[in-house]
Chains A and B, each alone.
Chain A
Amino acid sequence: MSNNITAQDDVLDRTKPPKPGPPKDVQFPEYFDTTLPNGINILVIENNKIPAVSVRMVFKDAGSFYDGDKYGLASLTAEMLTKGTSNRTATQIAEEIDFVGGSINAGSDWDGSYISLSVLRKHLNTGIEILADVAQNPVFEDEELSRVKEQRLSSILQGKDDAGHLSDKRFNKVVYGTLPYSNPAEGTEETVKKITKADLQEFYKMNYYSGNLIIAFVGDITKEEALKITEEKFNKLPREGINRVNSYKFDENSSAKKVYIINKPGAVQSNLRVGHIGIPRNNPDFIAVTIMNTILGGYFGSRINYNLREKHGFTYGARSYFNPHLYSGDFSVDTDVRNEVTDTSVTLIIEELKRITTEEITDEELTTVKNYMTGVFPLQLETANAVASRVINLKLYNLPKDYYSKYISAINALTKQDILNAAKNYIKPENITIVVSGDAGAVKDKLSKFGEVQVFDADGNKIN
């Protein structure tokens, strides 16, 4: 059944782009935000477009940063939450949540530990029961732990064949120096083997408490329901945990202008990281830095991607990132290029870093990036979960409450001079570390012009 519509008779002028219609006002959605006497911060991002609910538990500042010398501790603790409680075995947890078509996942990153539930509205009670159980009654049973550890050891082994993973590990180790961010969050073969049930229990006790917990309820749920659920089901955690004193001081190490190659004999491409230390998420210049980085290498139309991909055909894609954490961050340009153009690509990247720190961007570049960043803002708020992620980040990184309501005007207020200042302050071409995962035999000699070259194997041992 279809109707035919006949084409118009008059000829269309295709030579000029059509004008946009009047723009619609974009507001960051309203959400509910309160803190209970026991310290739990409840967020409700209500949206009943589809009959589904997500619940996201976030333990703030309770991630791999606190692994100490037991690398992998935070992530193993999180992974073990769903592997058995005082009421349910690992298999029962999996079967009960799978039966209602939902999912429960737990994990961690540098700045937090997370447990999330996703379930249809009609199965919410079942989902909440299991979520509350894994969050509050994990038993860290020995047999389950040995299974998880064995899987983790195999993942670490697998990582030795992944070029990007090898580059990241080396880059973080060099760039973060004395900060814990330099350690591998997944652990090493040595540390994982040594981690015990007692270690997990200790980490759990110190880091999973109501005073650092955010629970975000997202989707088809009201704030009254969310409050009731939290008060009735999530009241078993202790109020206090570890007394956080972050005494880590970053010390400028002497890595600058050095080249690190992780040798992958026979590799057909070099995986590159070119960069240095960056900024924490709550740095007041973060928006200016983001705009500057977008022009430099943050989107498809960026200078670096245009230069390496569209102009030279050296790569499938090249991007630059400010990767921010709670206490620090890093900056890097990441790309994969064929062996023959590895050194030329590094040269082009360095030229782009110098250019953005020495010359003002053009009016056109500034207009385009402002249009882009403000235009995609509503695209990034399409689902309740996307909105929730942003609200949670405000909390996780201690950003001002009006950050998103002022976001668009903050972008529009930036000048070419602001962008140049952001580049001058946060990009240091003379201070870069160059990391390459690839065939050392094919690329080593050509890279020596950028600084002293050191070669490592996939296990991290120096081999030259």
Chain B
Amino acid sequence: MLISNSESLVAQISAIEFREFDLDNGLHVILHKDNTNPIVSVDIWYHVGAKDEDPGRTGFAHLFEHMMFQGSKNVGKTDHFNYIQNAGGTLNGTTNQDRTNYFETAPSNQLELLLWLESDRMATLQVTQENFDNQREVVKEEKRQRYDNVPYGSRWGEMMKRLFKGQTYEWIPIGSMEDLNSADLNYAQEFYRKYYSPDNAVVVVSGDIDYDETASLVKKYFGDIKPANTIKNKYAKIIFNQGEVKDVIYDNVQLPAVYIGYKIPGTTDKDIQALEILSMILGDGRSSRIYKDIVYENKSAKSAGSFIWDNEIGGMFIVYATGFKDTNPDSLISRLTSIVNSITTEHVNDTELEKTKNALENDHINRMQTIMGKADMLASYWTFHKNTSLINTHIDEFLSVSKEDILNAAKKYLSSNNRVVLTYLPNKDKKIN
């Protein structure tokens, strides 16, 4: 048993204790005990996401996530929900580019029920044509509700389509209507067989538990599930500095907006911490450079900022602004660009750096408030870094970033030939040719 107890710079929060081990079938198990409240969370991450979809099958990892709630050998359609709600629990699942997770929180005396349900669908999911067709329609409505019928709702899909053209991350998890319509049951069964196996998953149990008892329960329910030994698709390389791409998109919007995306490396790259800090100094909150300049002093935008969106093997550094009705979007783009450029030529100042580290420390501590928050962090550090103890030490890597590191990262990634610039304009501005 590995017990992590490393000293951290953040001396005021005690280290998160956990235990982890592997089952023979390759399932990784992480347990974290927190007896504060009589509740428990189970959080399973399957290491499969939109980037594992085959061409012409976009949206499939997410559609499949819906199928996981449609019943298994010993659990009828909708019974998964019924069992958990009957136990006084809450549940959901989410799909992103790199992983699909399933999680529930319930009173701690219901732990075994949660493990039974999760293991039953890992081992014996029942995918029927009727349920598949029903969930396909549900997902299409989800796409309409969250993307197609929302002002600026297409922005990240449009951004990634251009920024990652011909590379991994070219599409977003919701996929295209065309691909959703052509998705078929055989592919679903194949997808399940390939990716929904213990050797492609981590189970985290967090909350009011006993370590030994929980370890044997997890073993009892998951120990006999066979591994798939899948060889995953190869991920196309992320290529930087491919030249600037600029485009205009007309949408059902009232206000012009600009979205600038720079390509950055993956989650585990050494530059990521510097880029995170950089994005906060540039555009996180009312005392950030972009906000103070564009929104506050020059009153040229209603809102503006920046953030990073990192994925496993490559991500985006986003700079954005929403204008007023009569704002000229080109002037927004050039103003944003000059603020970004200023950070690639000179060091940030000490105050900005210290402020950002204080904010990171604050966020880190607040994430430790809930058992599910901790479960997700543990799962993430294992899945992407294969190093669970980063839950206690990762913050130190952020706190030790220097001004030099930031300048280097800015120079490396924030040049105009490494970006896509999208301008959103109201439909009514469309020139009729």
Contacts and interface: CB of A to CB of B under 8 A. Distances in A.
The answer to whether A and B come from one shared complex is yes
Given A2-B20, A98-B355, A269-B144, A378 B81 contact: no
B150, B208, B287 pick with most chain A CB within 10 angstroms: B287
Nearest to B177: A268
Interface residues of B, number: 98
Nearest to B91: A300
A186 B325 CA distance: 18
A4 B37 contact: no
B367 to A, nearest CB: 9
Contacts of B149: 163, 267-269, 271, 336
A20 to B, nearest CB: 5
Contacts, number: 253
B141 A91 contact: no
A377 B89 CA distance: 10
Interface residues of A, number: 87
B324 A17 contact: no
B285 interface: yes
Contacts of A2: 2, 20-22, 28
Interface in A344-388: 367-368, 371-379, 381-383
Interface string A1-34: 1111111100110111111111110100000000
Nearest to A336: B145
Nearest to A15: B74
A154 B220 CA distance: 58
B269 interface: no
B151 A162 contact: yes
A161 interface: yes
Given A101-B359, A375-B89, A383-B369, A161 B38 contact: no
A315 interface: yes
B416 interface: no
A375 B107 contact: yes
B255 A94 contact: no
Given A98-B287, A98-B359, A99-B354, A382 B370 contact: yes
B82 A301 contact: yes
A267 B88 CA distance: 38
Contacts of A252: none
Nearest to A16: B74
B252 A266 contact: yes
Contacts of B182: none
A321 interface: no
Nearest to B371: A382
B219 A5 contact: yes
Contact of A24 (B108, B287, B302, B351): B108
A267 B151 CA distance: 11
A310 interface: yes
B306 interface: no
A316 interface: yes
Interface stretch (B95-103, B131-139, B330-338): B131-139
Interface in B122-168: 123-124, 133-142, 144-146, 148-151
B21 A120 contact: no
A21 B252 CA distance: 54
Given A371-B88, A376-B89, A50 B13 contact: yes
Nearest to B224: A7
Given A12-B220, A157-B255, A336-B149, 20 more contacts: A5-B21, A8-B223, A18-B113, A20-B113, A49-B36, A49-B369, A52-B366, A91-B286, A94-B285, A99-B358, A151-B302, A161-B151, A161-B252, A267-B252, A271-B149, A312-B137, A314-B137, A338-B140, A371-B88, A376-B89
Interface of A: 1-8, 11-12, 14-24, 26, 49-52, 90-91, 94-95, 98-102, 118-123, 147, 150-151, 154-155, 157-158, 160-163, 264, 266-269, 271, 299-301, 306, 309-316, 336-338, 367-368, 371-379, 381-383
